């Protein structure tokens, strides 16, 4: 059962009571992420996420970890492009203790300059790890090229230069302005009583008062694509490819149609791209397509890696698949398969309280309300072949204009000859 309450200080509390769960997942979500940053303070949201774990007025960093470990729970956090989340998963009996810990981390984190210097080094190592992992780094390269000069093109972690330049004052000011209660959502899933949760949250989080207006989706500037071929040279055994074009936003109902297209093209091991390029040809170890949706924009992409000798053939095959889908559409069998694939994935994921907790938060962030599961299933079941054909023709209208980002040592002329043909 879904319930929602907005506290006097602006914090939104959303719960979903599930009688058969023995665990409870609690998340505090802020409408803050790399998309709300600038080129100068890029990485500040991720830095703040790290600093929340470095101790409070009443708990050391060790105390935070020890208290959660002592009850067999888990605590973690992540930063995205449009939100940041701090979350715990514990047994139902430890709900109030967990709320106490995360309220302490939210309201009384020290942001100690000495700890900040240690964490600056840790984040620097994290950035290097991403750069040393081309399968992950290629996405940062694609976003930087596709949304060139815009916030959506900034890396979530920031760069070594921007992270090095951030000061303790900048972090505390940004935290005050962007992480106020009016920008906070607390979501809880499990066998919980909404009214009791609200009372506990009022008691623990009531000391937080409304700050500045904060940042919300209304302040966002709609992004635009900078299309082209971008090659980043790096000494690698393989060439890493990321191909992408405009998708749809998180609030566009056609996102379900795009999920269908994704499942057919490259979203599973039985998809066209995986079967043709990996299984039949043996040209890659892995290949898949993906969908990213934001407040007002989105991308549809394909990612893979291959040897220097095979890059031309792989690009030709990907382009042929794009043209085939655009010109011929999909079959009844493919539509039926993809619907069951998506629904099956959804049901399996929702077996966990963490996934349900995240779904509550994202519904609140993007829609300001709860989207019942049956409504989502109805949207999926209602999709027709013509809907998939229409969106395929729209996003693949001109394959030569679809952006391509390559990481590795490749011959630009060969790549351009294939892709612009």
Contact 8, 77 (CB under 8 A): no
Distance, in Å, from the CA atom of 327 to the CA atom of 399, rounded to the nearest integer, reads 12
Query: Are β-strands 184-190 and 12-17 bridged in parallel, bridged antiparallel, or unpaired?
Result: parallel
Dihedral sign computed on CA atoms, order 149, 155, 157, 162:
negative
Which one from 16, 49, 321, 364 is the annotated catalytic residue? 49
Q: Is 309 a catalytic residue?
A: no
42 is written with which tokens? Answer: 């890029």
Reference 81, options 45, 33, 139, 31; nearest CA is: 33
Dihedral sign computed on CA atoms, order 351, 355, 361, 367:
negative
Distance, in Å, from the CA atom of 365 to the CA atom of 382, rounded to the nearest integer, reads 25
Sheet strands side by side (includes 238-246): 229-232, 403-407, 238-246, 298-307, 287-293
Residues carrying an active site annotation: 49
């Amino acid at each position: 059962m879904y319930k929602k309450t907005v506290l006097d200080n602006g914090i939104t509390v959303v719960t979903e009571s599930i009688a058969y769960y023995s665990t409870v997942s609690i998340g505090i979500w802020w409408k803050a992420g790399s998309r709300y940053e600038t080129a100068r303070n890029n990485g500040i949201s991720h830095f703040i996420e790290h600093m929340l774990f470095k101790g409070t007025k009443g708990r050391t960093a060790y105390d935070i970890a020890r208290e959660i470990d002592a009850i067999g729970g888990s605590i973690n956090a992540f930063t995205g492009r449009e939100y940041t989340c701090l979350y715990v998963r514990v047994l139902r009996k430890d709900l109030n203790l967990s709320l106490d810990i995360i309220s302490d981390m939210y309201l009384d984190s020290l942001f100690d300059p000495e700890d900040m210097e240690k964490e600056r080094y840790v984040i620097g190592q994290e950035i290097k790890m991403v750069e040393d992992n081309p399968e992950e780094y290629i996405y940062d390269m694609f976003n930087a090229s596709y949304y060139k000069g815009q916030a959506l093109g900034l890396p979530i972690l920031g760069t070594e230069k921007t992270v090095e330049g951030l000061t303790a004052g900048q972090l505390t000011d940004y935290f005050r302005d962007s992480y106020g209660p009016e920008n906070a959502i607390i979501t809880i899933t499990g066998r919980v009583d909404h009214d009791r949760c609200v009372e506990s949250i009022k008691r623990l989080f009531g000391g937080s008062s409304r700050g500045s207006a904060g940042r919300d989706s209304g302040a966002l500037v709609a992004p635009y694509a900078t299309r082209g071929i971008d090659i980043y040279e790096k000494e690698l055994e393989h060439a890493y490819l990321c191909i992408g074009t405009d998708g749809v936003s998180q609030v566009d109902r056609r996102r379900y149609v795009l999920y269908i297209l994704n499942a057919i093209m490259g979203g599973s091991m039985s998809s066209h791209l995986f079967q043709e390029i990996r299984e039949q040809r043996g040209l890659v170890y892995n290949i898949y397509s993906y969908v990213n949706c934001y407040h007002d924009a989105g991308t549809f992409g394909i990612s893979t890696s291959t040897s220097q000798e095979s890059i031309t053939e792989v690009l030709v095959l990907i382009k042929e698949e794009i043209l085939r889908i655009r010109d011929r559409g999909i079959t009844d069998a493919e539509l039926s398969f993809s619907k069951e694939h998506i629904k099956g994935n959804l049901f399996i994921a929702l077996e966990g309280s963490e996934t349900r907790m995240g779904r509550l938060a994202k519904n609140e962030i993007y829609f300001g309300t709860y989207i019942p599961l049956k409504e989502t299933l109805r949207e999926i079941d209602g999709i027709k072949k013509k809907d998939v054909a229409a969106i395929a023709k729209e996003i693949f209208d001109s394959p030569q204009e679809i952006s391509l980002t390559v990481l590795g040592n490749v011959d630009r002329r060969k790549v351009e000859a294939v892709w612009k043909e």
